[in-house]
Amino acid sequence: MYGIIAFFRRFYFSLLFIALEIISIAFVVTNNYYHEAGYFNSSNRIAGTVYRTYSGVTSYFSLQSVNRQLAEENAQLLNAESKTKDTSTYKKGTLTNPFGQQYNFMLAEVIDNSTNLPNNYLTLRAGSEEGIGEGMGVISPAGIVGIVVKTSSRYSVVMSLLHQKTMVSAMFKKSGTFGSLSWDNNKDYRFATLNQIPMSEKIKQGDTIVTSGFSTIFPKGIMVGTVDNFKAIPELYFYTVHIKLSTDFKNIRYVYVVNTIEKIEKDSLERAAQNALNDKVK
C-alpha cells in the first residue's frame, strides 16, 4: 500500500499527462465515428454567440457580393420559371422535381466558415428550432456546400465538402455516369476529385458535374462543378477526374438546407419497422 502511494507521488505528473492524453484521444476517436457524441462543438451557445457577434460585424464587408449572388439567383429562377410556366409543381416552399422527390429548402445564415484546414466546417445560425436536422444536405445558390452533422436548438454545424470524410455521389450531367466525389487534395478549396468514372466515358474539359440524387441527402441535379482535368488509371479501367467546384467556399454568406420529404418518410418507416421488430423480440 505504501509502495503504491509512493509510486503515485513519484510519477503523478506523467500519470496525469497520460490520463489527459487518453481523454483527448478518446474525444477525437468518438467524435470521428459518432456524430451525436460531444457537446464541445461550435453549435453550443458560447461558440455560437461569439461567431454570431463576429459575423454581425464582418457581414457588412460582403454585402456587395451577397447582393450580386442574390441578383444572379433571382435571374436564374426567373429564367427557370419562364421555361416551365407550369406553376403546379411549386407549392408553398416545396419543390417536386421530375423524379417525384420532394424537398423543403430552409434559408440559413453562415456565421462561421473555414477553407484552409484539413477538415473544414461551417456554423449556421439556425438549428433544430428552425427544423434543421442532422444528415440534411446544404447547398448555396452556386452549388453544393456540405452536410449537417450537429444541431443545437439555435445553431448547427455543417461538415463542408472540404472535409476528408465527406463523400457525395455525383454524375456527368450529359450522360449520367456517376462516381464518388471527395476532397482528397486537402489543400485547395477550389478543387475536388471525382473517382471511379469508367473509361468508357468520353470526358471533355468543362463538362458539367451535378449531384446524382442516389442518396436522399441532395436532390438530383444540384450543380457541383466542371471538369478541370482528368487522369486515367489503366489497371483499374477508371478515370480520376479533377473538378473545379462551382461554389466559392471562401465567400458563402447564405445557404439553403435541404430537407427531403421522402427522407422523413423513409426514416419514420425505418423507425417504425425497428420498433415493431423490438416489440416482437419482447
Partner 1 sequence: MVEVGKNILRFSFFILLQVTIIRHLDLGSYFNPFLFVGAILMLPIRINKTLVLIIAFATGLIIDMFYNTMGMNAAACTFMAFCRPRVLKVFAPAGDYNGDATATVNSMGIRWMISYAGALIFIHHLVLFYLETFSLHDFFTTLLKVILSGVSTLILFLITQSLLFRNP
Binds partner 1 (CB under 8 A): choice among 59, 104, 115, 128: 115
The C-alpha cell 451525436 sits at 36
Q: Which stretch binds partner 1 (CB under 8 A): 38-46, 79-87, 223-231, 263-271?
A: 38-46
Contacts with partner 1 in 230-259 (CB under 8 A)?
A: 250
Among 7, 8, 11, 40, binds partner 1 (CB under 8 A): 40
Least Å from the CB of residue 243 to partner 1: 18
Secondary structure (H, E, C), 224-243: EEEEEEEEEEHHHCEEEEEE
27 binds partner 1 (CB under 8 A): yes
Residue number with CB closer to partner 1 (52 or 173): 52
- Residue 17 vs 214, nearer CB to partner 1: 17
Measured distance CA(102)–CA(256) in Å, rounded: 15
CB of 26 to partner 1, least distance (A): 7
- In the complex with partner 1, the residue whose CB is nearer, 56 or 198, is 56
Helix-, strand-, coil-residue percentages of the chain, each rounded to 5: 35, 30, 30
Question: Which residues, numbered 177-236, are part of the site for partner 1 (CB under 8 A)?
Answer: 186-189
Using the minimum distance from each CB to partner 1, give the nearer residue, 79 or 153.
153
* DSSP 8-state secondary structure symbol assigned to residue 116: S
Stretch of residues binding partner 1 (CB under 8 A), selected from 25-33, 62-70, 85-93, 204-212: 25-33
Q: Which of residues 31 and 177 has its CB atom nearest to partner 1 in the complex?
A: 31
Does residue 171 contact residue 212 with C-beta atoms inside 8 Å?
yes
Identify the CA nearest to 163 among candidates 127, 122, 218. Answer: 122
49 binds partner 1 (CB under 8 A): no
Q: Which amino acid is at 33?
A: Y
Size of the site for partner 1 (CB under 8 A): 40
- Quick one: cell of 268? 419514420
Long-range pairs, 195-202, Cβ under 8 A, ≥24? 195/238, 195/240, 195/241, 196/238, 197/172, 197/230, 197/238, 197/239, 197/240, 197/241, 198/237, 198/238, 198/239, 199/232, 199/234, 199/237, 199/238, 199/239, 201/172, 201/175, 201/177, 201/239, 202/175
Shortest distance in whole angstroms from residue 47 CB to partner 1: 5
Task: Write out the residues near partner 1 by the rule CB under 8 A.
Answer: 12-14, 16-17, 20-21, 23-28, 31-32, 38, 40-42, 44, 46-47, 50-51, 54, 58, 114-119, 121, 157, 164, 186-189, 250
